[in-house]
A and B are shown apart, each in its own frame.
Chain A
């Protein structure tokens, strides 16, 4: 069974306007360099419904929902992804609880 953590970057309209595609590429580069053990798998996601709080990045199965992510936040995010430290608290808790919940429900299906 695949135990890797999934790291989703939203590629929806709002997030991509805010630069999510570039952020995804930067994150991919940083994980290539830093994630030597291959703990994480980076993916794009169609839309997390938290458009006004983009760029949204979601960690699963950790159930961490980062919002308002900027390039300058990536070193801290990657540090956690590489197994050091905790999730970046200040980037969490932005979106409504029901939006978070539907995202977990959808990701739980494993599709």
Chain B
């Protein structure tokens, strides 16, 4: 039974009255009457992790926010969903704006923040409209008393979704990630303690508070299945579901009906081979398999499909999407793209060593994790599907063609 996506996929945006009928804003009232520590404990028991891609435990961010000292604290709702292939955050804000808003208000009440900024990409027109309407409705009904709540627009550039780049944008500067530490929880927006939390993560919070953490276990996540599936769309998937069940039961199999050759949990994650399809979708199991859950923007490559072309398009995406701030990142993304272009064009040689060497050199460098994000799909593609690369390097064509 769905816990978050409880309404039909094509339903109109959920208005205030409909949300109140569902039990909306009861969790916020409950939180305002309990101690913040209890809310943090509930999130910990629910094991809610950040759904922006990093999977960082929400309770630890909230606890940091609660413990941080500062006259003013902030909550930033990170709707900087720039990862191609992921649409669940814009969907949530557009269709379930009050659930996101209540989650943010609960976060503010727990951490002691007096301001909430909904950070949304400037091209998410339906989400922006929905968010503004929900803020108006909830303010008029008194649910946001004592809080300053506003929408801030993010540029469409990829790096603008990184949490400290988001803070820079909100402060009126270009989307360049900050050096860390300090982390936003210590010194975030305008140097004040700030809890930055992904849209989906916050949308789960009211249900957890209202119904108890036990109702959330084992938890669930929203996944965006792209056009490589027979049934693309946004699905609520229980954690622990196997990748095979995700593909077959939710996605209806691959678009072309052939068996899965590789699955990619997100553009910035490592590929997994068909032999990993029985991996349960948990943070730990996915990591053990060599990848991660990312933001759940899944795509598949079918038997007969070419991993080199996909890896090249991802490498080119990262080359043009890195922000230009950190030289190692420029070097890595430019090198991987150039190497894959040569392979795709039919140049044999030590291409794998090039990618291995440059990614080993850049690992851990730079202000954000883009270096690792660009490395993961490239390295896994080379290691899992060497025969595709060999065939391309020899002939300049896909092995299947």
A residues engaging B (CB < 8 A)? 12-14, 46-52, 98-99, 102, 105-106, 109-111
For B330, give its contact among A49, A102, A105, A110 (CB under 8 Å): A49
Given contact pairs A13-B324, A13-B330, A49-B327, A109 touches B357 in the complex (Cβ within 8 A): yes
Residue on A nearest B356 in the bound complex, by CB: A109
CA distance A98 to B347 in the complex (A): 28
Give chain B residues whose Cβ lies under 8 Å from the Cβ of A106.
Answer: 335, 354, 357-358
A63 to chain B, nearest CB (A): 16
B301 close to chain A: CB less than 8 A: no
Q: Which residues of A contact B351 (CB under 8 A)?
A: 111
B328 surroundings in chain A (CB, below 8 A): 49
A111 touches B354 (CB 8 A): yes
- Say whether B350 faces chain A, with CB atoms less than 8 Å apart: yes
Against A, the Cβ 8 Å flags (1 = close, 0 = not) of B361-381 are 100000000000000000000
Residues of B within 8 A of A12 (CB): 330-331, 334
Which of B331, B347, B354 has the largest number of chain A CB atoms within 10 A?
B331
28 A–B pairs (Cβ distance < 8 Å), ordered by A = A12-B330, A12-B331, A13-B324, A13-B330, A14-B327, A46-B331, A46-B335, A46-B337, A47-B330, A47-B334, A48-B331, A49-B330, A50-B327, A51-B327, A98-B361, A102-B357, A102-B358, A102-B361, A105-B361, A106-B358, A109-B349, A109-B353, A110-B349, A111-B347, A111-B349, A111-B350, A111-B351, A111-B353
Task: Indicate whether A47 sits within 8 Å of B331 (C-beta atoms), given known contacts A109-B350, A111-B339.
Answer: yes
Min CB distance, B176 to chain A, in Å? 14
B338 within 8 A of A: yes
User: Complex formed: what's the CA distance from A27 to B331 in Å?
Assistant: 23
A105 contacts which chain B residues (CB < 8 A)?
A: 357, 361
